[in-house]
Structure 1
Amino acid sequence: MALFHRVVLINVSVLACLSAAAAYGFAVSGSGDDSAAVPVPDALTSSYCRALHEVLPQRVGGLPRHDLKPRSELTAGWGDPAIVLRCGVPRPAVDDDPQADGVDVDGVGWSVEHGPDGSLRLTTTYRKAYVEVTLPEKYAADVGPLTDLADAVRRTVPSTV
């Protein structure tokens, strides 16, 4: 019986580590991949994310929307390489740094993290669900995608302020 408990604990630990790595890592692994780690939020956060998914625009930055793998109401993509949206991600550690980069686009605040590959990871601030958008280097110089997403985020994910 003790062996069974150890195996279960080890498997739970491995899953926890993989989930944490996916949650804190950049969502896109490369051009044409079209995959994203699916967040695992609580029920209330999931309800905000489902509402957001229903009103996401069909085009972001002029690029057509498509499903990512695995298909989920918590993720969406546009273009190739994909602009990736993940809803229900954990609060990013960068939010603890008062000197961190941030931007406000059409009433939605975003924290900004620069990826080693020239990409940007932007995560909403002061919202009841954290929405993360990863812009590949190809689109990182333009806030147009955030402008396209701002209305949907404002309408479905309540502010905390």
Structure 2
Amino acid sequence: MNFFRPRPVALPPLALLLAAVGCSSADGDVSAAVPSPSATVTELCRNLDRTLPSAVDDQHRRDPSPASELTAGWGNPAIILRCGVERPAEMSDTEADGVDVNGVGWLLEEQDDGSFRFTTTLRAAYVEVTIPQDRTADGLAPLVDLAPAVKKAIPEGIA
């Protein structure tokens, strides 16, 4: 079991990796790669899907395609959540940065393009949240909005 050290974070406006999120057409449709977790994790993710808020960072829910209980989205450009992702390799790095948002720990990954990706830590399933650069003015507000659902649906533990 590896832990990273949480650090206080004063982030500039965040921009998160869009590798898993891409525009699929000119009309603004968003796609997200659907994870393939175990049956146990899939059930946790289904529970999370049922408890997710209808709005995140004042943006209404607008799920990506293909439709799945393992992915969710809000707004345009979309904030994307994927549940049941693989454990990021960066979680083994003792120098990795983390943040705690309302009782949910998140691995913070800065990408080469200056964007960020957040993945839950110490939960029975890994939940990843990406926020497009155009939606970063409110910093960690999306994680604040998502924390109650994650705490309710994904128990503490090691995935």
1:53 to 2:44 alignment: no
1:137 deviates by 1.4
**Could you list the runs of 4 or more consecutive aligned residues of structure 1 that deviate by over 3 angstroms after TM superposition?**
none
**Cα deviations across residues 127-154 of structure 1 (Å, max 9, x unaligned)?**
0000000011123351000000000000
Structure 2, unpaired ranges of 5+: 1-17
| Number of the residue aligned with 2:5 | none
| Number of the residue aligned with 2:151 | 154
| 8 Å contact kept, 2:104–2:150 | yes
- Which has the larger helix fraction? 1
Secondary structure of 2:32's aligned partner: coil
The structure whose RCO (Cα within 8 Å, separation 6+) is larger is 2
Instruction: Give the alignment's TM-score, normalised by structure 1.
Output: 0.80
Secondary structure of 2:65's aligned partner: coil
- Which has more radius of gyration? 1
| Number of the residue aligned with 2:90 | 94
Secondary structure of 1:128's aligned partner: coil
Letter in 1 for 2:83: C
| 1:75 counterpart (71, 76, 88) | 71
**Cα deviations across residues 92-136 of structure 1 (Å, max 9, x unaligned)?**
111011111110000000001123344321000000000000011
| 1:29 counterpart (15, 22, 26) | 22
Q: RMSD across aligned C-alpha pairs, in angstroms?
A: 1.7
Percentage of identical aligned residues: 55
Instruction: Give the alignment's TM-score, normalised by structure 2.
Output: 0.81
Cα distance in 1, alignment partners of residues 29 and 90 from structure 2: 27
Letter in 2 for 1:131: V
